[in-house]
Amino acid sequence: MKPDGPLSTFVPGPLATRIHALWDEVADFGAHETDTALSHTLRLLSELVGAQSAFWLGAVRLATDLDLLGGWRMRAIRRMNPTPQDDYVYRFSRQRLDRGTPDEVTLTQVREAGTFRARLLRELASPEFFTTPDYEILYRARNIRDAIFVAYPLNEDAESYFGWYRIGAEQGPFSTIDRDVLAYALRALKWFHRRVMLHHGLLVARAPLMPMERRLVSLLLTERSEKEIARELDLTPATAHTYITTLFRKFDVSGRPGLTALWLGKSPT
């Protein structure tokens, strides 16, 4: 990982205290509660900076070809307070990236890949961007007043992104202190970024995980037997076993001990 770029580290004392409590709270969630821990993190940090919406996004580099995006593509997303319009924008943005024609903000983010970074929207875009059709579709049409993005590189080919929006004409822009609060909160949580990426099949899995597979991972990280997992997911034992076998293959492990080792940050044997 490259060194951090320029970033103020000033965080007011009361906010720092609340962030320290968040670190403890997130650590108390079990490995099988990754979705719940992610939702809790998005909600708490949104409250700290006065954001009305937030998201996590997993990005991977699918190839080393020197295309405009350097092979980077978005492959998973979780949103707080999602709307149908958010779904449209995600599909629109993903199609743009897959065609190699990103908007200016995304292109700037890709150019900084490999470095931990926290940026206000106005730090990622030129003044001209705010008069373009891209800005209209991605922000103004959703009544987004301002945004902050935090990116954490897990390795050369995987990055964990978080984003926050202020929504509504009555909202003021985010401040540099808001940006620094989010940077401070997420910079120390490498293990959590890694766990969220694993949960979505984006760090070591052969392919991104489907919603059913993420539920299956959560259950496999408990002490439930295959029969109990099948009952909870309303599957036959044979179907559940097939899903589990496919899941192990995606993570290139031979069984539950290997899967658990990944979540503990160890190399499976």
Sheet holding 158-167, edge to edge: 72-80, 53-61, 158-167, 144-155, 117-120
Mean pLDDT score, 246-269: 76
Domain 13-199 has CATH 3.30.450.80: yes
Tell me if 102 sits within 8 A of 71, measured CB to CB: no
How does pLDDT run across 143-198, given as a tens digit for each residue? 999 999 999 999 888 899 999 999 998 999 999 999 999 999 999 999 999 999 98
CATH fold for domain 211-263: Arc Repressor Mutant, subunit A (1.10.10)
User: How many angstroms separate the Cα of 100 from the Cα of each of 69, 73, 94?
Assistant: 6, 9, 10
| Residue 53's pLDDT band (cuts 50, 70, 90) | very high
Q: pLDDT value at position 9?
A: 59
- The domain spans of the chain are 13-199, 211-263
How far, in Å, CA of 53 to CA of 39, rounded? Answer: 12
User: How many angstroms separate the Cα of 186 from the Cα of each of 21, 149, 193, 237, 266?
Assistant: 13, 11, 8, 40, 22
Tell me if 37 sits within 8 A of 28, measured CB to CB: no
**Smallest Cα–Cα separation from 22: which of 133, 165, 156, 186?**
186
Q: What is the pTM of this model?
A: 0.79
How far, in Å, CA of 138 to CA of 94, rounded? Answer: 12
Lowest-pLDDT range, 1-5, 42-46, 181-185?
A: 1-5
How does pLDDT run across 67-116, given as a tens digit for each residue? 778 778 888 899 998 888 898 898 888 888 778 788 999 999 999 999 99
In the numeric block, the tokens 């599957």 are attached to 235
In the numeric block, the tokens 């719940």 are attached to 36
How far, in Å, CA of 217 to CA of 222, rounded? Answer: 9
Tell me if 169 sits within 8 A of 143, measured CB to CB: yes
Please report the DSSP string for 218-266 in residue order: HHHTSS--HHHHHHHTT--HHHHHHHHHHHHHHHT-SSHHHHHHHHTT-
